[in-house]
Structure 1
Amino acid sequence: MTDNYNNDIQQIDIDKAWNNLHARLQEDNLIPIAAKERSIFAMPVFRWAVAAMFALCLTTVVIRYFVPDRHKTPLLSMRNNDADNTLVKTLEDGSTVYLAGSSSLFYPARFANDSREVVMQGNALFDIAKNPEKPFRIETKKIIVEVLGTAFNVKSDAKGSFELAVLRGKVKVTQKSNGEFAYVVAGEQAAIVDNHWQKTKYTDTSLLESFTKHMKFKDEPLEKIVQVINRYSQRKVALQGEAIKTHKLNVQFYNNDVEGMTKVISLALHLKREVTQDSIFISQP
């Protein structure tokens, strides 16, 4: 994935484009014969029609320069406008993204064969599924983050400021402007100071809780929701029966209490819930 935030917009020869469009219309017999004997702009209605057509063509050209084709496959977008909830998404490789308020993530429906690449802006916690054969890359405005399998928090705004804290594993961060990189391990955080990496100790033990306290899921399969719950809950949730795993759910949890969350799931999907000392079982009634 190549950064194109600062691409120069190529100049467009407007007169030449008009002439080419006029010639094309003539070739396709889209201009009335009477109009060919005089300027096409002598006809007000037709002039505006051609102007609108050209504006559309011009807009398409400009968009191609402003938004380069950086991906061979379309990207899906995920944006969290809710400041009070974390939007949680499990990607197709099993990695989970906890997206804080006013944050965005762009990701493919399926990753490429040799890499996993996403684009983000804002504040997000990533829990990356380990896969040495397919590195995970996160692109922000000024930084590229590369990991194999780890958990970390990334903050990157539209102005280009950047912070990263690693909860588990090891992360490589690289500045796009000068290529300077640094490796950040669990218990460390990194930020850019005067165009250089600065690493310090990270001691905030409440980071995971801050992202999981109020979670929101949109059209997520029940199996994925339960996987997220089981990552930080001591009492495990088990789904009994293959059919219920694919049930999709839109739901918000206002605390990370596993009993409360499983009650909401069971009521919403009309499922049976059985509680034991160590586990909570959910099944068809």
Structure 2
Amino acid sequence: MTRMAERFNKGEFFTFNYTSLCRYPVYEADFGWGRPVWVAWGGLPYKNLTILMDTKSRDGIEAWIHLNEEDMTKFENDQELLNSPPDDFSFIYFFNLDCKLSNNDISNHLKTSLSKVLTHYYPLAGRVNDNYVDCNDEGVLFLEVQVSCQLSQILQESFLEVVNRFVPVPDGVSNLALAIQVSVFECGNVAICARMSHKIANASSFLTFIKNWAATARHLETYVICPEFVAAKVFPPKDDGGFDIYMGAAEKNIVLKRFKF
């Protein structure tokens, strides 16, 4: 395992990774405004990573493909792909609001419900340090952004390149367990992005948290499923053999395209 990790980190061989979120309840995040009109994958581009998601109507699949320009060209010509998963992941929920709400109303609504649900998910208010979570209650990053365009523009295919602007990218903070960005459009509609460390949660845990946060926002706390943080006792940590989780990360020269089937 150690030898394989060393060869991988040196770029001596390549892998292609994918994550399937099909059948996950990604569209069940109702904060009181109805279900999102679209849920997008967000986060840093990771070379050769593919994410599969159901469409809202569940009659098709969206494939989010991360490749460099050369490999994307090969992919579009039915060629092979390549390499490594992220250590955090994001979902962006886009909402059409039926009623007109002020930015303060939206912000307070989400902050209040988030603070309540975090009492059950207290590790998310801590910091991720190497192979453990420091539950120091430093809090969650919560960003508020005003977007100078309409939601309808973002939903167009030609605007996919701006999707990651809705993902919270903290300046100088790399060990957050959870970061939230609320973006309000000129039309009054809203995008909510939650970015969570993959070291402490998988997609199922992430979506359960979102569902519980949304239930709390609708004053349905009785439906919240409280987690039990006992996994470390049941599954003791293992030596990863020197695998570098950041090997596949890249901020430049990676092309992201969405394919809808």
TM-score, normalised by the number of residues in structure 1? 0.22
Larger RCO: Structure 1 or Structure 2 (Cα < 8 Å, ≥ 6 residues apart)?
2
Q: Computing the radius of gyration over CA atoms, which structure comes out larger, 1 or 2?
A: 1
Say which structure is richer in strand: 1
TM-score, normalised by the number of residues in structure 2? 0.24
